[in-house]
């Protein structure tokens, strides 16, 4: 944005896009694209009356069908506003605010849930027995001398076993230049390192790859989802997988091939970090008996909380409650 000036010379905007349901069938039908004015104080920026509606996009358009709207805006609106402005006041789009699906769409990534979808780094992945990555990929970003890079790690009385020692160097961060090179290769035949094509905003002036960030709320939701899968991992409720499901069966096969907990684990011989059914019931009852302010969406309904129903997690503050509700001492995780 540049240094502060005594007179207004530029207006900084943050671009926000998400899908909404415009009709009663509750399906996503339109995507409002709006600007948040960063010149305003933080408490005013996100208020509806201070935000600028830019476009209303049909939700069923993908790829080049969607890109033509962004290209039109670049040619007839954003380029002129950025170079000449209005009465000498230039308009600068500083960054975007997106959830994971929106970010993958705006940047034309392969999928927001795929291994290559991270917009900040390059992962070199060699498929394993089931052609999917193991959890624990975070180890690549640790210092070279970290003990968590070893295949077996002792911590808090537990033994953590990975498929191999992590010997790779830290992943290379994506830049606008490297992203452009990958996009160019992706348009020839097939996706390259997660890229499907050119980002929707690539013609906008001052576009930078690393300014397209994800929302903390959705990153926290993904973290909490993974945490619940690890410590709950079984049950008849919502997202949590049953021991006999095909999902768990493939992961058990992967562990057995790499000699990670080769013994059979089931409900009668659970993994050491799993919560028991009684633990989950106690934690669920604890959340359901809490008193919540009237202006909050209560994270429990009809006797089920986020410990048993994943759709009870919505707002950022509620997701943080997962980490605040006390877990039995034997299952406390140091994160």
Picking from 229, 295, 28, the residue whose alpha carbon sits closest to that of residue 318 is: 295
Cβ count near 193 (within 10 Å): 21
Contacts 24+ apart (CB under 8 A), 22-31: 28/59, 29/58, 29/59, 30/56, 30/57, 30/58, 30/59, 31/56, 31/57, 31/58, 31/59
Round to whole Å and give the CA distance between 70 and 17.
12
pLDDT at 25 over 60: yes
Contacts of 26 by beta carbon, 8 Å cutoff, 6+ apart: none
* Residue 7: pLDDT band with limits 50, 70, 90: confident
Q: What's the CA angle centered on 75, arms 70 and 78, to 5 degrees?
A: 75
Q: What is d(CA 38, CA 45) in angstroms, rounded to the nearest whole number?
A: 7
**Residue 237 CB contacts under 8 Å (≥ 6 apart), including other chains:** 304, 308, 309
3-state secondary structure the chain: CCCCCCCCCEEEEEEEECCECCCCCCCCCEEEEEEEECCCCHHHHCCHHHCEEEEEEECCCCCHHHHHHHHHHHHHHHHHHHHCCECCEEEEEEEEEECHHHHHHHCCECCCCCCCCCCCECCCCCCCCCCCCCCCHHHHHCCCCCHHHCCEEEECCEEEECCCCCCCCCCCECCHHHHHHHHHHHCCCCCECCECCCCCCCCCCCCCHHHEEECHHHHHHHHHHHHHHHHCCCCCCCCCCCCCCHHHHHHHHHHHHCCCCCCCCECCECCCCCCCHHHHHHHHHHHHCCCCCCCCCCCEECCEECCCCHHHCCCHHHHHHHHHCCCCHHHCCCC
CA atoms of 268 and 326, how far apart (whole Å): 25
pLDDT of residue 178: 86
The answer, yes or no, to whether residue 335 has pLDDT greater than 60, is no
Least confident range from 97-111, 207-221, 224-238: namely 224-238
Question: Tens digit of pLDDT for each residue in 58-95?
Answer: 888 888 889 999 999 999 999 999 998 998 899 988 88
Out of 9-18, 188-197, 274-283, 318-327, pick the least confident.
318-327
Residue 253: HSE in the Cβ half-sphere, 13 Å Cα cutoff: 12
Burial class (CB in 10 A: 0-12, 13-18, 19+), 276: middle
What's the pLDDT score for residue 77? 93
Is the pLDDT higher at 215 or at 275? 275
Per-domain boundaries in the chain? 10-115+171-214, 124-170, 217-331
pTM equals 0.67
pLDDT tens by residue, 153-169: 888 787 777 878 888 88
- Given a cut of 90, is residue 117 above it in pLDDT? no
* Residue 223: alpha-carbon gap to chain centroid: 8
């Amino acid at each position: 944005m540049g240094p502060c000036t005594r007179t207004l010379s530029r207006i900084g905007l943050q671009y926000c896009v998400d899908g909404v349901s415009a009709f009663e069938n509750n399906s996503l039908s339109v995507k409002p694209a709006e600007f948040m004015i960063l010149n305003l104080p933080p408490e005013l920026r996100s208020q509806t009356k201070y935000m600028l509606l830019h476009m209303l996009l049909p939700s069923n358009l993908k790829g080049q069908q969607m890109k033509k709207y962004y290209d039109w805006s670049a040619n007839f609106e954003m380029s002129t506003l950025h170079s000449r402005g209005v009465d000498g006041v230039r308009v600068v789009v500083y960054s975007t605010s997106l959830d994971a699906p929106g970010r993958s769409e705006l940047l034309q990534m392969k999928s927001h849930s795929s291994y290559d979808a991270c917009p900040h780094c390059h992962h070199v992945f060699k498929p394993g027995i089931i052609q999917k990555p193991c959890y624990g990929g975070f180890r690549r970003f640790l210092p070279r001398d970290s003990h968590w890079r070893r295949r077996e790690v002792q911590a808090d009385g537990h033994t953590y076993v990975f498929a191999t020692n992590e010997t790779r160097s830290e992943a290379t961060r994506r830049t606008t230049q490297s992203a452009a090179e990958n996009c160019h290769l992706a348009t020839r035949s097939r996706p390259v390192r997660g890229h499907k094509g050119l980002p929707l905003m690539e013609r906008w002036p001052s576009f930078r790859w690393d300014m397209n960030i994800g929302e903390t709320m959705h990153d926290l939701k993904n973290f909490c989802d993974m945490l619940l899968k690890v410590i709950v991992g079984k049950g008849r409720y919502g997202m949590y997988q049953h021991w006999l499901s095909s999902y768990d069966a493939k992961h058990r096969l992967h562990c057995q091939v790499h000699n990670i907990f080769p013994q059979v684990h089931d409900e009668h011989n659970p993994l050491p970090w799993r919560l028991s059914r009684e633990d989950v019931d106690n934690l669920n009852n604890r959340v359901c008996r809490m008193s919540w302010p009237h202006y909050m969406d209560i994270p429990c309904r009809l006797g089920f909380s986020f410990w048993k129903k994943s759709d009870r997690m919505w707002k950022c503050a509620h997701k943080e409650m997962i980490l605040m509700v006390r877990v039995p001492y034997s299952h406390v995780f140091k994160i």
